[in-house]
Amino acid sequence: MAGVLQRFEQRLEGAVTGAFARAFRSAVQPVEIAAALQREIDNSAHVLSRERMLVPNDFTVELSTSDHERLTPFGTTLSDELATLVKEHVTEQRYTLAGPL
């Protein structure tokens, strides 16, 4: 039952987010990318044992052409900062990464 509710919540969130994105066409902010990565980690966690949950260690961030052009000059810095935030989230939640980031 929890899985059904989680999928419903994800679809609803995606629909609302998509509708707002189309309506307002604002540029994506790094904090939004970080939040999306955290959400993906949480939603992809697999229970290995009572004390161990496995999460993905590889992520692809897709951006619009304009967002990509705007963020490209900050690519290395942004990538490093997002990796740090992912590691902090994994540590806080006591997850186990599937491999190195």
pLDDT digits (tens, 9 = 90+) for 58-100: 999 999 999 999 999 999 999 999 999 999 999 999 999 999 9
What is the Cα–Cα distance from 1 to 77, expressed in whole angstroms? 41
Q: Which helix (H) or strand (E) holds 10?
A: helix 2-24
- Domain boundaries, position 51: 27-97
What is the Cα–Cα distance from 23 to 46, expressed in whole angstroms? 35
- Beta strands 46-49 and 52-55: pairing type? antiparallel
Residue 15 in domain: no
Per-residue model confidence as pLDDT tens digits over 4-39: 556 666 665 665 555 555 555 678 999 999 999 999
Domains in the chain, number: 1
Residue 14 in domain: no
Please report the beta strands in 1-101, taking only residues with DSSP state E, as ranges in sequence order: 46-49, 52-55, 95-97
The whole-model pTM stands at 0.74
CB 57 within 8 A of CB 101: yes
